[in-house]
Structure formats: structure tokens, C-alpha cells
Amino acid sequence: MSLDPATVRRIARLARIGIDESDLPALQGELNGILGWVEQLNEVDVEGVTPMVGTGHAALRTRDDVVTDGNCRDAVLSNAPDAVGPFYTVPKVVE
Amino acid sequence: MSYTLEGRTGTWEIVVGLEVHAQVISHSKLFSGASASYGGEPNTHVSLVDAGFPGMLPVLNHECVAQAIRTGLGLRARINLESRFDRKNYFYADLPTGYQISQFTHPIVGEGTVEIELGDGTVRHIGITRLHMEQDAGKSMHDQDPTRSFIDLNRAGVALMEIVSEPDIRSPEEAGAYLRKLRQILRYLGTCDGNMEEGSMRADVNVSVRKAGEPFRTRCEIKNVNSIRYVMHAIEVEATRQIAVWEDGGEVDQETRLFDPSRNETRSLRSKEDAHDYRYFPDPDLLPLVVEQAWVDELERALPELPDDKRDRFVKQYGIPRYDASVLVAEQAIADYYEEVAKGRDARLAANWVTGDLFGALNRTGRSIQDSPISAQALGGMLDLMADKTINGKIAKEVFEDMLETGDSAADIVDRKGLKQVTDTGAIDAAVADVLARNADKVAEYRGGKDRLFGFFVGQVMKAMAGKANPAIVNEALKKVL
């Protein structure tokens, strides 16, 4: 698998990362290097093997349905660059 | 009768599938301990997990899993003992993490079915493709400021069930019946309150059109329709639009659209080519969810009786028509009310009073069954007076109206107004004799073969006795004399 410049551009846009046209060849080379390295896994025959999702055998932990958190608006808004009263604000988004 | 739309080039049928987002009833959110309750001051039902702070980890709410399984069982669906959580990536201001945790490749619930009944009595089965758990997003407010949108994350992270139907729906009516049935099942199960006005149940509607016998054509998705009536309108409007596009030689593009009820049209919502590229991948913070069959069995044993089962039992146990039974099981509270009235009494008569006079009274007064001005015990008390012939059916109507107004018991009203039925045959015989004497001409006609006049005589006698005579005795007395 190999990515062409158009695909690299598209991936960047989906991730909302602005890139310069002049950076494309380098990024294309790096991404293709990563993909090529990962593709070595295709050499392993995994026919009939259950997919492994982690190294531990732990089951997913769950919690009881009780309210133990929240009511910490100051902390929640602490990093908001432009909070107004109890709200975050962002540049107007209307579709 | 199948539903079709007529175009210039012939007859079209419509194909509809629904994705319903149902908000799970729980105390806390799907992956955080913040409150999941409605309302609350802005951004107070929010934890650092919901706000997407770095390093925060999601921990799954056990009860939300139970709710999803209960719903799956209620939809007669397969429960997947192993399911997984994936990240659905997109950027929006009310989604702080930049991804929604959802279940993409391995949902907790697989194929099921919902039985719907149409106005003409036709029964159809709509397939369920899957049900999966996911997080709700926050709320954006665009009308608070000229240049900014305000964000409230109270809803962010609340558990949703997305219930996806097969494209089995063929008319707006079927879509409406499906949504009503789904809502009924969710309410019976107590897994979602089904309140579409408050947004706790919303539908995305997939619509395409085709000529008879064709494979499916391209569909459009109408997002976030928030009432059953709008869903039905949107389907018709969108199908009509698509027919016009095809008939003008065009192509329908697969896209997301918005229904505007004020203009009765759908509009393209996201023309962005990337709209559907969510780059799903397994959430590395969450292991696969494995549930034990024993737990599923335990949840199943604890399920309430579901509406279809209750309807069938009502028909069998109470001998009432299927239609009446369907009406009575529409809400659990109505079914409970009915059973209380019917217990140990004439169950058909009870059904008639509940679906007739009581529903009429609730409609008129704008009340629900929960705050009915006449309790089930009170209505039962009135039926008892009819059963022991203290009052007849006509007087019962009067007593019922009085109960509605005053809240008094039927027995008190009968005493207060002196409505006790006259069963004294002497008094009835006297009234009969009087009526016949005053209508000698009609008596002659009756004896001459005009049988229909019998009803007239009954009416006159009842009138003479202010409606309080026992109709059976009046009939008998008249027959004897005539």
C-alpha cells in the first residue's frame, strides 16, 4: 500500500492539520515508510487465530450507575480561551 | 393496499429505514460519573472526562449495558456476548474529544424484529439490523451572540442507544407505526422515556425510491427529525423530490439532508465530501465488553410483560377484541388501570367504559390516565352498581359525568340524586298501562305487524319513569301486555 499526494492532503484535512504543499513529498515518504513497516505483519499467517486486543487478559471494568463526578464547572472551563459566563464559546458555527 | 407515489413515468414505491437515537435512562453518563439528568445549570453535569481533558480515561457504566441488553431482548434481538467500542472521528465544537465513542464493527445487539399494526389491521414485521451504545454530544447555541456559538456539555457523554432498522418500511404510515411501537417498547422496558419533544428520542430517516421489482436505488439520509409526524411528512416530501430528480433524467446523490417543516422541504445539509469519512478504529482505552449469558438470562427473567404479549393475553383472558386490547396496552398505566377495573367484573363492559367514556373524558379535560379524575376503583364501583342492577346503562352515563365533576363515588351520587333503578314491577306495570292507554293508535299499528314500534313503547315508558326503570323488566312487561 502506498499513499499518493492527494491522499496525504486529504488525511491532513480530515485531521485539521494545515500543511504546506512543499511539505507533501516529505510527509508522503514518512507515511509510506510507516505503512511499509507495519505491512510486514501481512507475512504472518493468522488464519483461524482469534484477534488479540491486548496483552493482558483483564476484562473490561465497569462502574456502578451512581453520580460521583461533575459540578466542577470552574475546572471544566479552566482552559477555555473565551468562556462567557457558564459557557464555552467558539467562533459561530452554523450549517 | 400498498403505498405508492405516481410520477410522470409511472408508479414508484418508497424504501425507508430508520436510525433511532434513544437516550438511555440512567443516573450517570456512559463513561463518566457526571449526572445524566436533564436540565441543570450549563456545564455542571460535566466531568473532566466529558470535557476531553488530557489523560482522562472512560469507565463503562454497568447499568447502561443492562439497559441496552434489556432493549435488545425487548426487540427480540440477538445479544452479542462480546462487543467492542470504537472511536468515530469528527470535529465539532460540542464534541470536546474530537471523537465519539460508539460501537461500529461489534455492536452489543444484533438482528431483531418489531411487529407493527396498520390502520386497516395489517400486521407487518420490521427487521432490526442492530442496536449499539454510544455517547451523546453537547449542545451548541447559535442565538446568544452575533459572532460566537455557546457550548453546554451537560449532554456530552450521556448514553444513547442507536437502533437501526432494516430498509423494510414502505410507507409514511408504516414509519409512524414503527416509531410508535418502538417508543412503546422502550417505555415498557423503562430504558428510554421516548420523549421526542425533549430530544430523548430522535430519528434519522433513510429514504430512496424505486420502480416495482427494481433493486434499491441511492438513498438520502434526513437527519435528526424530532417528531413522528415530521418523520412521516419528511418521507413523503423527500420521496417526491427524488422521483422528480430521476424523472428529469438526473441522479440522486447520496447525502445528508435536513427537513424543514415550515417550508415542507428537505435541503442538502453537508455537501462536504468528507462528511462520512469517520476513520473508525477500536478505542484503545477500552477492552472488549464481555457479558455472561447467565446475566442476560437474569435480565430477561426480570423484564416486564411486553405490549404484544399483554395484548394477546388481554384478548384471551378478558375476551375483548384485538383492537380494544391494542388500545388498552398503548401505555402500561392504561393497561394497569384497565386490569384494576376489569378484575372480577364484566371485562368487556370494563373495556367499553375505559376506551369510550373514560378516554373521552380524559381528552376533554386534557388529563392523562395517571391523573384521571376517576380512579380505577371508582369506575369499578360504578360497574358494580350496574352489575347488581342498582342503575341501568343510561343512568350510568349520568352518574359517570357527575363523578367526573364532583369526584364523588357512584354510590353517593345515586343516593344523592335518587337514581336507584326502579325494579318494582307494580310501578313499571302502571307506567306501561298508562303509556299504552295514551297511544292506543300505535298499539293497534303494532298489533297490525309494525314491530318497530316496540322501541317507541320502551322509550315512552323509560321517559315516564325518568330513565330509572330497569330496561329488562320494562321489556318483559311490554311483551306481556302487547
Query: Tell me: the pLDDT tens digits for A25-44?
Result: 999 999 999 999 999 999 99
CB-based burial of residue A39 (10 Å sphere; 0-12 exposed, 13-18 middle, 19+ buried)? Answer: exposed
- In this prediction, residue B95 carries a pLDDT of 95
The CA distance from B365 to the nearest CA of chain A, in Å, is 39
Closest Cα in chain A to B138:
A88
> A91–B149: do the CB atoms touch at under 8 Å?
yes
* A45 to chain B, closest Cα gap in Å: 22
- ipTM tops 0.90: no
What is the rounded CA–CA span in Å between residue B440 and residue B184? 60
Q: Which residues contact B7 (CB under 8 A, 6 or more apart)?
A: B243, B244, B246, B247
- Domain membership of residue A12 (yes or no) is yes
Number of domains in chain A: 1
Nearest to A93 among B49, B62, B140 (CB): B140
Q: Which CATH class is domain B425-481?
A: mainly alpha
State whether A65 and B153 contact (CB < 8 Å). no
B385 residue type, one letter: L
Question: Is residue A18 assigned to a domain?
Answer: yes
For residue B272, pLDDT over 60 is answered with no
Residue B321 binned pLDDT confidence (cut-offs 50, 70, 90): very high
Q: What is the pLDDT of residue B415?
A: 84
Q: What is the mean pLDDT of residues B114-127?
A: 94
Q: Given a cut of 90, is residue B425 above it in pLDDT?
A: no
- Mean per-residue pLDDT over chain B, rounded: 92
Side-chain half-sphere of B80: how many Cα atoms within 13 Å?
19
Tens digits of residue pLDDT in B158-188: 999 999 999 999 999 999 999 999 999 999 9
CB contacts < 8 Å between A and B, how many? 137
| Contact residues, chain B, for A71 at CB < 8 Å | 44-45
Q: What does the alpha-carbon distance between residue B99 and residue B135 come to, in Å, rounded to a whole number?
A: 10
> pLDDT at position B331, please?
93
Domain ranges in chain B? 5-298, 305-417, 425-481
Interface of A with B in 47-76 (CB under 8 A): 53-54, 58-73, 75-76
Is B229's pLDDT higher than 80?
A: yes
Distances (CA, A) of B119 to B166, B262, B283, B323: 22, 27, 45, 10
Inter-chain CB proximity B141 and A58 less than 8 Å:
no
Judged by a CB distance cut-off of 8 A, whether residue A92 touches chain B is yes
> Kindly report the CA angle at B432 between B429 and B438, in degrees rounded to 5?
140
pLDDT, residue A55, reads 65
Confidence of residue A91 (pLDDT cuts 50, 70, 90): very high
DSSP state of B84: -
Closest CA to B436 of B465, B411, B450, B457: B457
Q: Which residue of B has its CA nearest to A16?
A: B91
Which residue, among A11, A61, A63, A65, would best test binding to B if mutated, counting the most B CBs under 10 Å from its CB? A65
| Residue B45: exposure state from Cβ atoms within 10 A (0-12, 13-18, ≥19) | buried
Tens-digit pLDDT profile for residues B61-71:
999 999 999 99
Whether residue B18 is predicted with pLDDT greater than 60 in this model: the reply is yes
**Is residue A58 predicted with pLDDT exceeding 80?**
no
Question: pLDDT grade, residue B82 (50/70/90)?
Answer: very high
Cα B296 from Cα B303, distance rounded (Å): 11
Residue A56's pLDDT band (boundaries 50, 70, 90)?
low
Domain of A18? 5-42
Of B376 and B439, the one with more pLDDT: B376
Instruction: Decide if B47 and A58 are in contact by the 8 Å CB cutoff.
Output: no
